[in-house]
């Protein structure tokens, strides 16, 4: 092979169209006997690029072919090209101009000769995390264990992050620290740190993908910014705080063509896939009814209580002592306190008032509030973790667990959006006209229209410890406090949270189910790794926004119906995103945003 100033194409399309240049070409080119193209450039030429791939010349860097890899031979510290056929395009070209030396470049796998035991740098995803202290730490650990590259961490409370990380580094009973935790700590130490996701996206040019694991009210805000910046995104469930935001994320994902995933990891598990096999094989017959339940929030966070903003102002004058009894009447002992719900609420508020409310060092409370319209003072009842039960920040247990429990029936039955929804609950927490927290328990009925030959379906949701009354011969699943039951014409299908441990009843149908082939594609990796592979063009995302947004909309319509009124049936025009019979309920399809944060 000649070794002068020639560049060689090593892509999948030998003999493709001539390479174009910025102003100094065309240059001599030809085709080798093996079909690959070469072209020659002066050694001093700073940039060669296809004009519709790289919008501006970059200093002393690039040769880009229309559809393949280009490189110099022999390998010397010269410039490299990128492969359109390997999925790299304008959006993916994220290398900072200060790092454009050979040592900072990412070279394609088949140029470096990577093997299953040796990973090429270009096979590594540069990712960032927004919201690292909770579930985001677990999501990050999955990707770090898989060999992906954590380049940036954004969190509004790094002190909390450090405490959580320290917990992962505690030795087990044998005195051994998890190697995975050590690896995570190393990645954390090396990553750039930010408090404001906007600053991170603006400054950190090597980010290719972003995990978003903030409180619910921030999901859409961060995700839209990341996608519009050309980043792939993984968003924890629920995908968004409102129906409007769910539709917005679906649209932006389609426009930007980035790889997306919602964090409903059960969608990638074997149980959910097996349920899909069985339902589509008709093992239990046509399904007209599904019951789904979770014990959240009772085991994890409080709901149905007044908020810290309802703490009464302390009295500044002493209480008036009781009047003495009339002459001749005995002095009676005071009546014992009355323990009713109001007494409990006062006790809760008293405990909240006793909590220190000074802002912890390092906590950026304005960034925690983000798009929330209300100017809510800091209180430890909100952060960390317990935000999910408060109306300004979360969407209750149905938002937390609906994506893990509704997913299986919604997907396998081919449901779309409901035609009507009805919810009822225990009382909201705080003032009725401006509740602070969601009810302790709620139930929701969704009515779905027929789909082709499949009949209409009624789906029932129960949370807060409520559950359906099952038949004696159908054991209730008991995985992570929740489960579901499909009621078919011939039998029943049950599963635990995340779709785990699916079972068929009666036994005769269970035997038939064992013979149903695995007809739907399996996800051979974890949910996060599946997304990382999708970012690199190596797999299809398991739960992309085009699916996850509709599932999220179904979940959130349960909250919309509840806010419309107890047992008040709302009729839903999905095509126009409109509640048709209760016009005032439409305000709950979206929300009010703080100035400067609107979407």
pTM of the model: 0.80
Summarised one tens digit per residue, pLDDT across range 221-231 is 999 999 999 99
Least confident of 20-34, 185-199, 356-370, 544-558: 20-34
Is pLDDT at 6 greater than 70 in this prediction? no
Whole-angstrom distance, CA of residue 516 vs CA of residue 281: 7
- Cβ neighbors of 308 (< 8 A, separation 6 or more) are 352, 355, 357, 377, 379, 381, 382
CB 541 within 8 A of CB 259: yes
What is the enclosing helix (H) or strand (E) of 202? helix 197-203
Whole-angstrom distance, CA of residue 564 vs CA of residue 423: 9
Whole-angstrom distance, CA of residue 264 vs CA of residue 404: 6
CA 170 → CA 137, 185, 571, distances in Å?
Answer: 15, 12, 52
Return the higher-pLDDT residue of 332 and 9: 332
CB 6 within 8 A of CB 36: no
Q: What pLDDT is stored for residue 43 in this prediction?
A: 45
Q: What pLDDT is stored for residue 473 in this prediction?
A: 84
Q: At 339, list the tokens.
A: 């323990």
CATH number of 122-169+179-263: 3.40.50.720
In the predicted model, what is the mean pLDDT of the chain? Answer: 84
CB 309 within 8 A of CB 533: no
Q: Which residues pair with 257 in a beta bridge?
A: none
Summarised one tens digit per residue, pLDDT across range 514-537 is 999 999 999 999 999 999 999 999
Bond before 429 cis per omega within 30 degrees: no
Among residues 133, 139, 131, 202, the alpha carbon closest in space to that of 531 is found at 139
| β-bridge pairing 492-496 and 29-31 | unpaired
Summarised one tens digit per residue, pLDDT across range 271-324 is 999 999 999 999 999 999 999 999 999 889 999 999 998 787 665 677 777 788
pLDDT band at 121 (very low <50, low <70, confident <90, very high): low
Q: Which residues pair with 153 in a beta bridge?
A: 129, 193
SS3 492: strand
pLDDT band at 61 (very low <50, low <70, confident <90, very high): very low
What is the enclosing helix (H) or strand (E) of 350? helix 341-354
Domains of the chain, by residue range, sit at 1-111, 122-169+179-263, 267-304+396-524+541-589
C-beta atoms surrounding 540 within 10 Å:
12
SS3 98: helix
In which residue are the tokens 């893990």 written? 404
Is pLDDT at 160 greater than 90 in this prediction? yes
Q: What pLDDT is stored for residue 22 in this prediction?
A: 32
Is pLDDT at 50 greater than 90 in this prediction? no
The mean pLDDT value for 384-389 works out to 93
Q: What pLDDT is stored for residue 586 in this prediction?
A: 98
Among residues 442, 264, 303, the alpha carbon closest in space to that of 386 is found at 303
**Kindly report the CA angle at 44 between 38 and 48, in degrees rounded to 5?**
50
CATH number of 267-304+396-524+541-589: 3.30.360
Q: What pLDDT is stored for residue 31 in this prediction?
A: 53
Q: At 425, list the tokens.
A: 């609950």
Express as a percent the part of the chain with pLDDT over 70. 79
Q: What pLDDT is stored for residue 269 in this prediction?
A: 98
- Cβ neighbors of 300 (< 8 A, separation 6 or more) are 388
3-state secondary structure 214-260: CCHHHHHHHHHHHHHCCCEEEECCCCCCCHHHHHHHHHHHHHHCCCE
Indicate if 267-304+396-524+541-589 has the same CATH topology as 122-169+179-263: no
- Cβ neighbors of 464 (< 8 A, separation 6 or more) are 295, 296, 297, 298, 303, 397, 426, 439, 440, 441, 442
Summarised one tens digit per residue, pLDDT across range 442-482 is 999 999 999 999 999 999 999 999 999 877 789 889 888 99
């Amino acid at each position: 092979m000649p070794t002068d100033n020639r560049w060689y194409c090593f892509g999948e399309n030998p003999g493709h169209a001539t390479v174009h240049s910025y102003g100094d070409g065309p240059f001599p080119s030809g085709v080798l006997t093996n079909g690959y193209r070469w072209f020659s450039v002066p050694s001093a030429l700073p940039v060669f690029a296809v004009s519709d791939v790289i919008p501006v010349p970059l200093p002393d860097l690039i040769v880009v072919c229309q559809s393949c890899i280009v490189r110099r031979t022999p390998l010397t510290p010269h410039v490299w090209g990128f492969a359109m056929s390997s999925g790299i395009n304008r959006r993916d070209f994220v290398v900072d101009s200060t790092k454009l030396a050979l040592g900072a470049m990412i070279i394609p796998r088949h140029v470096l000769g990577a093997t299953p035991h040796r990973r090429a740098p270009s096979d590594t995803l540069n990712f960032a995390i927004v919201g690292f202290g909770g579930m985001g730490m677990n999501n990050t650990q999955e990707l770090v264990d898989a060999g992906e590259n954590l380049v940036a961490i954004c969190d509004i409370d790094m002190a909390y992050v450090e405490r959580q990380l320290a917990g992962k580094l505690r030795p087990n009973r044998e005195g051994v620290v998890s190697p995975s935790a050590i690896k995570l700590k190393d990645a954390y130490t090396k990553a750039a740190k930010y408090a404001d996701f906007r600053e991170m996206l603006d400054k950190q040019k090597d980010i290719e993908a972003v995990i978003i694991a903030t409180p619910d009210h921030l999901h859409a805000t961060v995700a839209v910014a990341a996608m519009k910046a050309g980043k792939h995104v993984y968003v924890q469930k629920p995908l968004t705080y409102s129906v409007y935001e769910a539709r917005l994320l679906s649209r932006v994902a389609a426009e930007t063509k980035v790889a997306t995933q919602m964090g409903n990891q059960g969608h990638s598990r074997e149980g959910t896939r097996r349920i899909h096999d069985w339902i589509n094989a008709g093992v239990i017959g046509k399904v007209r009814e599904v019951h789904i339940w979770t014990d959240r929030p009772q085991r994890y966070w409080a709901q149905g209580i007044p908020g810290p903003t309802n703490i009464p102002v302390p009295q500044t004058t002493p209480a008036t002592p009781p009047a003495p009894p009339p002459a001749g009447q005995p002095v009676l002992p005071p009546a014992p306190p009355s323990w009713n719900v109001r007494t409990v609420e006062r006790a809760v508020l008293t405990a909240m008032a006793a909590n220190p409310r000074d802002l912890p060092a390092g906590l950026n409370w304005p960034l925690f509030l983000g798009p929330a319209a209300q100017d809510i003072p800091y209180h430890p009842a909100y952060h960390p973790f317990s935000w999910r039960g408060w109306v300004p920040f979360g969407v209750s247990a149905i938002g937390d667990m609906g994506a893990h429990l509704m997913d299986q029936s919604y997907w396998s039955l081919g449901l779309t959006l409901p035609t009507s929804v009805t919810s009822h609950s225990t009382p909201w927490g705080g003032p009725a006209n401006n509740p602070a927290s969601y009810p302790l328990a709620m139930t929701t009925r969704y009515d779905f229209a027929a789909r082709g030959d499949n009949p209409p379906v009624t789906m029932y949701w129960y949370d807060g410890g409520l559950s359906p009354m099952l038949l004696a011969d159908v054991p209730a699943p008991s995985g992570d406090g929740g489960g579901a039951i499909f009621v078919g014409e011939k039998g029943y299908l049950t599963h635990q949270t995340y779709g785990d441990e699916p079972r068929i009843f009666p036994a005769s149908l269970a035997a038939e189910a064992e013979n149903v082939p695995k007809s739907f594609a399996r996800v051979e990796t974890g949910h996060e790794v599946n997304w990382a592979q999708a970012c690199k063009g190596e797999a299809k995302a398991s739960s992309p926004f085009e699916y996850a947004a509709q599932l999220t909309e179904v979940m959130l319509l349960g909250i919309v119906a509840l806010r419309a009124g107890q047992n008040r049936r709302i009729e839903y025009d999905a095509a126009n995103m409109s509640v048709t019979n209760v016009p005032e309920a439409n305000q709950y399809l979206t929300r009010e945003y703080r100035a400067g944060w609107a979407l």
